[in-house]
Amino acid sequence: MEIIRTMNNVFWGWLVAGILLLTGVFFTLRLHFPQFRYFTRLFGNLACSMKGNEKAEGSVSGFGALCAAVGGQVGTGSLVGVATALASGGPGAIFWMWVTAVLGMPISFAEAVLAQLFRVKNPDGTYRGGPAYYMEKGLHSKALSILYSISILVGIGFFYCMIQSNSISVALTGVAPVSPLAAGILLLILVALVIFGGIKRLSEVASYIVPFMALGYLLMAIWVMVVHASMLPEMLRQIFTGAFSGQAAAGGVAGYSVQQAFRYGVARGLFSNDAGNGTAPTMHATAVVPHPVNQGFAAMLGTFITTTIIICSCTAFCILLSNQLGTGETGIALTQLAFESNLGSIGRWVVFLAMFLFGFTTLLADIYYGEVNLMILVKKPQAVTIYRVLCCAIIIAGAVAPVPMVWDLVDFASAFMVLFNVIALLRLSRYVALALKDYAGQWSAKKEAGARPVWDFTHQVDEEDLD
């Protein structure tokens, strides 16, 4: 584990973290600042997708795919990852999580557009896609597609699932006299009811759970911030100071360095918003929308909602305003302690409910991501069933076993997912620019007539379209 930990310090200390941020800068410039230029359009696009007029029989709507993707993003990273980043990197880590989110939005856009352009149709009428598919169909690189599929199958399908299961179990045992095994069995039953129903059932479940859990958590956090309004200026000062000059930690713990703030802020920022690692576009590929850019906008909104900008910021603010940082607690225990300090004994239950709902939807999404990438490696349908059964076993194992090393394994797997995906994103950036140019041209011509841009999905884009 020391070797993996050392490699993670290199990966997330500067290599992968730097590549990820530079990729965000590249797409920001390449697409002319889409996260700012089209920001208001993101919400209009959401309203249209919620009407349901984009959903064909037997397909997944743009809103359903967004909810499923967001459900996969606002999991453990929103509660556990933020607490871990603060405990390991100090308040300054939150600033770098914000930077990761802003630069991650155009990356998410590019991933979703490519996922739409190079997806494949399933026998039941639904679609599947993602990085492995645009690597194979867009780059014509079977080797890169296989390498990515293996990294996401292991990292997301197994390690991430263990993290989600363990966090839910710890949160439950922290508020009720329930054994970790019982918590794991309960979670297993609920997960099995959904994953054996396919992507349509997953998107429907997420469409109900995600808006409710996001709004409820946001309201609780706003209440904490209102009560501690006088402390907000000092909290913001700590965040910005810690990002650039480091600071002493509370409780006699060793001080936080700028390098620690950067390393954990970027790593946990990625873990929270998934921008760059290629997981969310796997879900966005399933959506039936008029134009690939529509789902690109949905992906950017998902990154904005889930990360550092909204949900993760809520967790970070509650922890910092509670003055519990430096007590020795970390992960979900720190988050529960912070909410208990702010809301009383009910705070632990608030965190448990949020952790359960966040973690549950993320667990569903993680299993699906592994499933889609497994189909790149093994074409036989029986392999999917075997994989789902293995995931159920992973849920039990994650619930009952201490998994401190799993976080290191998650970071290690995520590094390779980012590296493989970034190669494809940069080499296929012309297709993203083409789709956005087509959308912008149609929008200018059709907006007065009340029509929306439409893409011909029956035509497979190729090099000739780029000339």
SS3 helix, strand, coil % of the chain, rounded to 5?
A: 75, 0, 20
> Residue 58: helix, strand or coil by DSSP?
coil
Q: Are the beta carbons of 264 and 84 closer than 8 angstroms?
A: yes
Q: Measured between alpha carbons, how far is 207 from 191 in angstroms, rounded to an integer?
A: 16
Look at domain 66-446 and name its CATH class: mainly alpha
One pLDDT digit (tens) per residue for the chain, 467 residues: 678 888 887 877 678 878 888 999 999 999 999 999 998 888 777 766 666 544 444 456 666 666 666 665 666 667 777 887 888 788 888 888 888 888 889 999 999 999 999 999 888 788 889 999 999 999 999 999 999 999 998 888 888 888 888 878 877 777 778 888 888 888 888 888 777 766 566 666 666 676 777 777 788 888 888 888 899 999 998 888 888 876 654 444 445 677 778 877 877 776 667 788 888 898 889 888 889 999 999 888 888 876 556 778 888 888 888 888 877 777 777 888 888 888 887 887 877 787 777 778 778 888 888 888 998 898 787 888 898 888 888 888 888 876 666 777 777 888 888 899 999 999 999 999 999 999 988 887 766 656 788 888 877 777 666 65
Q: Measured between alpha carbons, how far is 60 from 415 in angstroms, rounded to an integer?
A: 30
Q: Measured between alpha carbons, how far is 291 from 34 in angstroms, rounded to an integer?
A: 16
By CB atoms closer than 10 A (0-12, 13-18, 19+), residue 171 is buried
Specify the pLDDT at position 252: 40
List the chain domain ranges: 66-446
Host H or E run for residue 369: helix 346-377
Specify the pLDDT at position 215: 78
Q: Are the beta carbons of 144 and 422 closer than 8 angstroms?
A: no
Q: Measured between alpha carbons, how far is 389 from 383 in angstroms, rounded to an integer?
A: 10
Specify the pLDDT at position 251: 44
Specify the pLDDT at position 227: 87
Longest dimension (CA), the chain: 65
Q: Measured between alpha carbons, how far is 438 from 456 in angstroms, rounded to an integer?
A: 11
DSSP string, 436-449: HHHHHHHHHHHGGG
Specify the pLDDT at position 253: 46
Q: Measured between alpha carbons, how far is 348 from 151 in angstroms, rounded to an integer?
A: 35
Beta strands in 77-223 (DSSP E): 120-121, 127-128
Closest CA to 77 of 388, 359, 449, 402: 359
CA 220 to chain centre: 22
Q: Measured between alpha carbons, how far is 465 from 456 in angstroms, rounded to an integer?
A: 13
